[in-house]
């Protein structure tokens, strides 16, 4: 039995087909979930810098520090 015959015999006996192609949708789903989470995380970038005053300190109206 040569190598080509052994490979074709093993391929014919396999019932599941290509395991990598069967699990490919799970990889796409994980990639999509992590992509959405990365976009959410990127949307919070520099949020603390939005409220910095001219003196370089964060000003807060809630605690009365601006009065």
pLDDT band at 18 (very low <50, low <70, confident <90, very high): confident
pLDDT band at 38 (very low <50, low <70, confident <90, very high): very high
Q: What residue segments make up the domains of the chain, in order of their start?
A: 3-52
Please write the tens of the pLDDT for every residue from 46-67: 787 776 666 766 665 555 555 5
Q: Which residues of 22-58 are buried (b: 16+ CB within 10 A; e: fewer)?
A: eeeeeeeeeeeeeeeeeeeeeeeeeeeeeeeeeeeee
Query: Which long-range CB contacts under 8 A does 47-56 form with residues at least 24 apart?
Result: none
Token duo for residue 41? 């995380």
User: What pLDDT, on a 0 to 100 scale, did the predictor assign at position 37?
Assistant: 97
Residue with tokens 């370089």: 56
58: helix, strand or coil: strand
């Amino acid at each position: 039995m040569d190598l080509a015959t052994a490979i074709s015999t093993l391929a014919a006996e396999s019932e599941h087909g290509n395991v990598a192609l069967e699990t490919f949708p799970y990889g796409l789903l994980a990639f999509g979930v992590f992509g959405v989470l990365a976009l959410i995380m990127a949307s919070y970038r520099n949020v603390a810098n939005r409220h910095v005053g001219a003196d370089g300190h964060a000003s807060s109206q809630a605690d009365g520090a601006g009065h």
